[in-house]
Structure 1
Amino acid sequence: IEVRDLFASLPARRRFLRATRSETQAVARVIADYALAYPEVAFRLTADGRSALTAPGSGDPRDAVAAVHGAEVAAALLPARAERAVAVEGEADPARCEVVGLVGPPSLHRASRAAIHVVANGRAVTARALLPAVELGYEGLLPGGRHPMALIRITVPPDQIDVNVHPQKAEVRFRHERLVFATVQAAVRAALTVAPHLAPVAPDLASMPSPAATGDQQAPTAWAGFEFAATPNSPTTGREVIAGARTASYVEPSPAPSTPGRDSEGVSVLRPLGQIEGTYIVAESSDGMVLIDQHAAHERVLYEEVRARLAAGDRPSQPLLDSALVTLSAPQAALIAGGTRDLAAIGWEIEAADGAAVIVRAVPAALAGRDVTRALTDYLERLDAEERLSGPDRAAATLACRAAVMAGDRLDATQQRALLDALAKCDTPPTCPHGRPTMLRLSRAALERSFARR
């Protein structure tokens, strides 16, 4: 199909067209959506004599993504899949939903939602109501104000979708929207949980083009896959791994290997070398150097520990010998009143007193031994500032942030090793619960290029 002189016979319509550049961008968006919705169809868009998009029509969605977003992005995307069916009262057939697609790792994000593409029953749609389902799958994994990249293909029975909502058929309504929402979220979360983690990294100098590079050559995206391997018999809980930093209850981990290598499954093992300003752990890997933010890393360890206990119905609480009366500001008291259940779930036992005062009878185990007044007020300040998470996750993330080892805390070699081992056992080690990266990687190739060794 070739289109020329669009609206040539409708001068009134042409009068209200925007600038050529804006209209070209609009056309490119439409072609991109069609290329992603129909990967089996070849598309080619030429604008001002330049090839703007070429989709091969191979039938592979990853090839379509490569045509729209680039080969490096396409190669990094993770396969996602989920299928659910629920019985519907009064109907013989259950409601069904199948979701397949490709989602970006947490290190791959954009400033807007424009890179989230949704296809429903073979139709590219806007689906504003489903975008939060995609982003909820990344909850706690992305920096603030950033959005993931994803291609989500939804398939439901024809009688469970209404495509006649928008004149351009750009929006749809699902008969069982909650089912679709939950299936999309499950597919995204499953892909991020089981796939190898791609950690945010420092710019890889070895991947940058030489000064002589010309033409359309582009440097590969500056991130790469990386995983930790845990050392057997190392401390497994958040309190154990860093207990020695502030108390004498440190549990001795297994010795660190003298040189980094690979475990039985071929995963890179880290060897801690020391600290920078008591904040960053310097570690050697089998293919270069890694910097770990000790606070962000310990946050991730404690956060997953608290969530696991919540899922098991365990409330890690430390009763106080003498209850503490804490006077709060009115906003802090209102914050407690509105989140009593979530606070109790992570170990706080608080009763209202006169005015804005409260009586604290127990604190989370992770905060045991701290000054009660300061621990509570600091916790509430962090809780109020937390905007990315909600409910129990918000309470758990705030507790992890407050209990984690801080910047400036000196850790000896065994404590550093214990933290790296605990981080290795996390489901999502690359980021803290707030989406900040826990590690940066500099490959051996980048080091050699920096020192003119290659």
Structure 2
Amino acid sequence: MSIRRLPEKLVNRIAAGEVVERPAAALKELVENAIDAGATRISVRIAEGGMARLEVEDDGCGMTAAEMALALERHATSKLPTDAIEDVTTMGFRGEALPSIASVARLTLESRVAGGDGWRRVVDNGAVAAEGPAALAKGTHVVVEDLFARVPARRKFLRSPRSEYAACLDVVKRLAMARPDIAFVVEHDGRRVLDVQGGQDRLSRVAALTQRELAANSIGVDVERGEARLGGVISLPTYNRGIADHQYLFVNGRPVKDRLLVGALRGAYADLLARDRHPVVALFLDIPTSEVDVNVHPAKTEVRFRDPQLIRGMIVGGLRRALDEHGFRSVQRPAEAALSAWQQEPVPSPEPATGFLFGRRTEPAVHLFGADITPPGEDVARVYDRLVPFASAAPAPPSGRAEVAVAPPPMADEYPLGIARGQIANTYIVAEAEDGLVIVDQHAAHERLVLEQLRHGMAGRAVPSQGLLLPEVVELDEPACDRLEAAAPQLAALGVELERFGPAAVMVRATPAMLGAIDTQKLVNDIADDLAGYDAALGLSEKLELVAATMACHGSVRAGRTLSVPEMNALLRQMEVTPHSGQCNHGRPTWVKLAMHDVERLFGRK
């Protein structure tokens, strides 16, 4: 096969495949150009998810007619003034964006510099269709129409208009979050869907672009290590989502989806969330340009760090420290839907007493659900006799049991989680605090307490172990036994003493005393699965952190166990001094508070 030079039109379409994968990718390039042009306000209009029309208008520096012609040529850019490609500080420097988009769509480019005349240039799928003067204010106006209309092989792989619109909106949100000094407006099919003003600080911009609840359920982060700085907000573990789309990560103001950063974030929340739950975060990492390479991906969504371990340690340590400082804090207010589930039942008016007078029953007319059911001309007493079997089947009135106090109960205002007043369904502890009613999930809370004790063992304070009367042999496959044998010294610090017993078995001699009587076979199998199942990039110590969460679940107070009042109060007091006790190992809240004014609302007092 002979070698030939590709035609310019085909070269542009190949380049477009790298940069313009979908409407959101084209929109990203256009908005980034507007940001680099020094715009203070950027307006975006989208039609049919961007497949029919994309429009970006800014008030930046603009371009002359000659610069517009040059901007539509490949490898032409104003974003790289020198040959030092590693020192780029703009959103990007590739010259393929505008010509690549113009090669697969109809592109209209209008621009005017301050004090100059406006100019318009139209390129239809790679060919110049028209150009001439244009009337517009200072800045640039770009319109992209019928994307991939003449490339059906690419267009058929696009998703529905609604999915493409969601991707476009996500792109603009991330860029707007990175630049709170710029105002952004987005309209979709004539409807305004986003409008944020410029001049905001980072936290205000994050709050404006995410859920309202994040402000009340988030923690601020501010960490410095050398020349690197990490800032932003992270959600409490109990405020999480089922997908990772609500994680906004930025490096030097550039939105990225980097695997190292995502992995570090997962490591920071390792034993605080279930594997299928994700925190809501907006993190901004600022480091010298010489310490990061932004040119490893055509769309600039991935980066490469000179010292990845420093960055990972900074993120994991900084987020851990911020979460530790908030102790047992959790999402304290119950959902509004939970409050609305409470019903106020009408109290029926008291009926006249019934009884016997001179051997004859004297009752009023018989009523059922408010209706008189006494048949005409029939004696009321006979009707009551027929209803007796139904009355005897009615449930007995509620009853309670009081315990004799051996000591005066403590005051509720002395403790943040209040004083235990009772137990519901042998699962939930009800406590009275100074400012409301606290409900605690006893299993979830104790699971967290056990985990924190196990973590102390990993920090050098060995967990007390309980020797088995007869060592138990657990059979596993050989790779699992190899992993357990390699981790045996660290597992001993957690209270699990085991040793190799042949090629496909281990002998367990002791288990953590705090776990009590447990199924040793199941515990060891779960530990082996965890050592094998977690990310290979995690170190042994990080894997053992996750193993500890599994062990804690085995030894926690189970739902359905009756607790005495002293046991309930002991659990509450331990929660108040234990880090992260506001959520269990799977990210669910361990307690919720019903504020006193909410209780008064339920009874119509407010």
Same fold (TM over 0.5): yes
- Distance between the aligned counterparts of 1:79 and 1:379, measured in 2? 37
- Distance between the aligned counterparts of 1:308 and 1:79, measured in 2? 26
Kept after mapping to 2: 8 A contact 1:80/1:191: yes
Asked if residue 376 in structure 1 is aligned to residue 520 in structure 2, the reply is yes
User: CA offsets per residue over residues 336-358 of structure 1, 9 Å max, x none?
Assistant: 44642332221222233356554
- Distance between the aligned counterparts of 1:125 and 1:367, measured in 2? 43
Asked if residue 109 in structure 1 is aligned to residue 240 in structure 2, the reply is yes
Residues 445, 14 of structure 1: alpha-carbon distance in 2 compared, 3 angstrom cutoff: farther
User: CA offsets per residue over residues 283-315 of structure 1, 9 Å max, x none?
Assistant: 122232222121221121121122123213434
Q: Which amino acid aligns with 2:147?
A: R
- Distance between the aligned counterparts of 1:440 and 1:191, measured in 2? 21
- Distance between the aligned counterparts of 2:161 and 2:425, measured in 1? 54
Higher Cα radius of gyration: 2
Kept after mapping to 2: 8 A contact 1:335/1:380: no
Displacement after TM superposition at 1:43 (Å): 1.2
Partner of 1:291: 439
- Distance between the aligned counterparts of 1:75 and 1:293, measured in 2? 22
- Distance between the aligned counterparts of 1:18 and 1:382, measured in 2? 41
Q: Which amino acid aligns with 2:523?
A: Y
Partner of 1:428: 580
Aligned residues: 389
Partner of 1:273: 421
Asked if residue 442 in structure 1 is aligned to residue 540 in structure 2, the reply is no
Alignment of 1:13-412 (within 5 A): 13-15=147-149, 16=155, 19-85=160-226, 96-195=227-326, 197-199=329-331, 202-204=334-336, 256-258=409-411, 260-261=412-413, 268-319=416-467, 324-331=470-477, 336-337=484-485, 339-354=487-502, 358-367=506-515, 370=517, 375-383=519-527, 391-412=543-564
SS of the counterpart of 1:99?
strand
Q: Which amino acid aligns with 1:125?
A: V
Partner of 1:249: none
TM-score (norm 2): 0.58
Which of 416, 419, 440 is 2:568 aligned to?
416
Residues 254, 415 of structure 1: alpha-carbon distance in 2 compared, 3 angstrom cutoff: farther
Q: Which amino acid aligns with 1:202?
A: P
Decide which moves more: 7-16 or 398-407.
Answer: 7-16
- Distance between the aligned counterparts of 1:339 and 1:313, measured in 2? 17
Partner of 1:93: none
- Distance between the aligned counterparts of 1:2 and 1:274, measured in 2? 58
- Distance between the aligned counterparts of 2:559 and 2:159, measured in 1? 52
SS of the counterpart of 1:199?
coil
Kept after mapping to 2: 8 A contact 1:161/1:174: yes
Displacement after TM superposition at 1:427 (Å): 0.8
SS of the counterpart of 1:198?
coil
Aligned-residue sequence identity (percent) comes to 34
Displacement after TM superposition at 1:420 (Å): 0.5
Kept after mapping to 2: 8 A contact 1:288/1:441: yes
Residues 404, 256 of structure 1: alpha-carbon distance in 2 compared, 3 angstrom cutoff: farther
Residues 40, 356 of structure 1: alpha-carbon distance in 2 compared, 3 angstrom cutoff: same
Which of 416, 429, 451 is 2:603 aligned to?
451
Residues 327, 290 of structure 1: alpha-carbon distance in 2 compared, 3 angstrom cutoff: same
Kept after mapping to 2: 8 A contact 1:205/1:449: no
Partner of 1:89: none
Decide which moves more: 115-124 or 339-348.
Answer: 339-348
Partner of 2:115: none
- Distance between the aligned counterparts of 1:203 and 1:71, measured in 2? 14
Displacement after TM superposition at 1:23 (Å): 3.4
User: CA offsets per residue over residues 247-295 of structure 1, 9 Å max, x none?
Assistant: xxxxxx996424x2256xxxx3411111123222111222322221212
Kept after mapping to 2: 8 A contact 1:309/1:315: yes
Displacement after TM superposition at 1:318 (Å): 3.7
- Distance between the aligned counterparts of 2:590 and 2:43, measured in 1? 50
Displacement after TM superposition at 1:335 (Å): 6.5
Residues 346, 126 of structure 1: alpha-carbon distance in 2 compared, 3 angstrom cutoff: same
Decide which moves more: 398-407 or 121-130.
Answer: 398-407
Kept after mapping to 1: 8 A contact 2:180/2:198: yes
SS of the counterpart of 1:54?
strand
SS of the counterpart of 2:106?
coil
Residues 33, 326 of structure 1: alpha-carbon distance in 2 compared, 3 angstrom cutoff: same
Residues 153, 358 of structure 1: alpha-carbon distance in 2 compared, 3 angstrom cutoff: closer
- Distance between the aligned counterparts of 1:272 and 1:377, measured in 2? 36
User: CA offsets per residue over residues 119-142 of structure 1, 9 Å max, x none?
Assistant: 111211222321121122112222
Kept after mapping to 1: 8 A contact 2:219/2:233: yes
- Distance between the aligned counterparts of 1:124 and 1:453, measured in 2? 50
Kept after mapping to 1: 8 A contact 2:473/2:505: yes
- Distance between the aligned counterparts of 1:18 and 1:174, measured in 2? 34
SS of the counterpart of 1:434?
coil
Displacement after TM superposition at 1:384 (Å): 5.4
- Distance between the aligned counterparts of 2:317 and 2:473, measured in 1? 42
Structure 2 unaligned segments of length 5 or more: list them: 1-41, 46-52, 55-104, 108-123, 126-145, 150-154, 341-405, 536-541
Residues 431, 75 of structure 1: alpha-carbon distance in 2 compared, 3 angstrom cutoff: closer
Displacement after TM superposition at 1:381 (Å): 4.5
Larger RCO (CA under 8 A, 6+ residues apart): 1
Kept after mapping to 2: 8 A contact 1:8/1:14: no
- Distance between the aligned counterparts of 1:160 and 1:355, measured in 2? 47
Residues 20, 309 of structure 1: alpha-carbon distance in 2 compared, 3 angstrom cutoff: closer
Residues 146, 395 of structure 1: alpha-carbon distance in 2 compared, 3 angstrom cutoff: closer
TM-score (norm 1): 0.76
Residues 439, 44 of structure 1: alpha-carbon distance in 2 compared, 3 angstrom cutoff: same
Q: CA RMSD, aligned part only? A: 3.0
